[in-house]
Amino acid sequence: MSEPGGKVAGPGRDAGSRSGGRTPGGAGPEGRAQDLGLAATHGLPPGVTSTTDLPGPRDTGGMARARRPSDLIVAVVGPTASGKTDLALDLAEVLPGLLDADAAGPGELVGADAMQLYRGMDIGTAKTPASERRGIIHHQVDVLEVTDEASVARYQADARRDVEAIHQRGGVALVCGGSGLYLRALLDVIDFPATDPAVRARLEAEATGPLGSRGLHRRLEALDPESAARIDPHNARRIIRALEVIELTGEPYSAHMPRRVFHAPAVMIGVRRSLEVLDARIEARTAAMFRDGLVEETRGLLPRGLREGRTARRATGYAQALAVIDGQMTVEEARESVALATRQLSRRQTKWFRPEPRIHWLDAEDAGGAGGAGQVGAGTAVRGSRGGSLLERAVDIIRSEADGLDSVTP
């Protein structure tokens, strides 16, 4: 993984029908950035060519820095296609002024989407195009090659470093994504057990043999029923990790799951829609992906080693596009497969978030409008949970949480 904050693009595009207006084959992030006058390799504001050009940490004289309202980590969560990205961008525009942040300009976003870590996987992961990022800096996007293995432990260290740097610069940090474990790794008190390449290789061999992932899942059910109930029987990667931890530690994998305790002050805003609306948005987004060049983008990743990437090649969208390239699926069959897999992902995400008591859920369909940066001001009274725009209701919750941080020393 590259340095945190490097090669940034954006968190997932959640709008059902917007995919960034790419031409077939998709212009790469560098080309789109140049069109906007953004740094070609980072997607940063004009005049900033690297995150090292951003203002550094302020000198606090060696004293503990008092917690301020702007130090609250704001996480926008929810299932794919719920609309969380648009809300996060709106919040990034208005929160610095509302929370009295020292830094000029909008807040900065830290992605929490495991597949958006990969460079070049733009259309299929629904990354926000540069033209829709509003000049907002994004971290933890485009930091891995398609041949790399994503690591939640590495993500935790890098993403937390990003958040701390944002706060040290006097800015507001927003987290946006739907990868539940990545969100909890960033936000919660959690330590990750070590790994053993030999143990993992043996389990991976079993998963690809006659036993398969379902056989490993049955073994996990016998050893740790709680973890088995949470992990999809087809998710070989997570099953292998759970069995690896059990073998190395002699404890259930569930014993190492994070406690529901924030490691730093945070608030989680959840965006919720009905299944019928989510499914319609997923269908529209999937159609746009193929129309905008998902197959061509996948073909362009082959020389970069996509087929050798154990995680990247299996990502929803890219697995189906590879099948089209190999003549195993028609484009229409691939489109239907992607839409189905995305609907299933959306339901798994909803199931993951459901028991989380700290999420402040907002029903997007109850909003009077999508909201906009110009509608919320520092002196504006925000309406209740079922009145006003999504943005207004989110700001109401964030203000309440942030008020408790004023002048509190950690």
Model confidence pLDDT, tens digit, residues 219-230: 999 999 999 998
Classify residue 25: in a domain, yes or no: no
Residue 341 sits in a domain whose CATH number is 1.10.287.890
Torsion sign, CA atoms 307, 310, 314, 318:
negative
- The verdict on 201 and 163 lying in the same domain is no
- The verdict on 121 and 270 lying in the same domain is yes
Beta bridge partners of 176: 76, 111
- The verdict on 245 and 295 lying in the same domain is no
Model confidence pLDDT, tens digit, residues 103-151: 888 999 999 999 999 999 999 999 999 889 999 999 999 999 999 999 9
Model confidence pLDDT, tens digit, residues 14-70: 444 333 333 333 333 333 223 322 232 234 444 443 343 444 444 333 334 557 899
Q: Which portions of the chain are predicted below pLDDT 50?
A: 1-64, 369-385, 407-410
Residue 245 sits in a domain whose CATH number is 1.10.20.140
- The verdict on 40 and 121 lying in the same domain is yes
Classify residue 63: in a domain, yes or no: no
- The verdict on 204 and 101 lying in the same domain is no
Classify residue 366: in a domain, yes or no: yes
Classify residue 95: in a domain, yes or no: yes
pLDDT at 384: 36
Classify residue 98: in a domain, yes or no: yes
Q: pTM for this structure?
A: 0.75
- The verdict on 130 and 145 lying in the same domain is yes
- The verdict on 84 and 220 lying in the same domain is no
Classify residue 307: in a domain, yes or no: yes
Classify residue 163: in a domain, yes or no: yes
- The verdict on 244 and 283 lying in the same domain is no
- The verdict on 217 and 337 lying in the same domain is no
Cα–Cα dist 380/371, whole Å: 14
Helix H or strand E encompassing 333: helix 331-353
Residue 367 sits in a domain whose CATH number is 3.40.50.300
Cα–Cα dist 398/75, whole Å: 10
Torsion sign, CA atoms 200, 204, 207, 210:
negative
Q: How many domains does the structure of the chain reveal?
A: 3
- The verdict on 42 and 96 lying in the same domain is yes
- The verdict on 147 and 36 lying in the same domain is yes
The closest alpha carbon to 349, from 252, 259, 270, 261, belongs to 270
- The verdict on 36 and 149 lying in the same domain is yes
Cα–Cα dist 72/400, whole Å: 11
Give the residue numbers spanning the domain of 215: 197-256
Domain boundary among 332, 353, 374: 353
Classify residue 331: in a domain, yes or no: yes
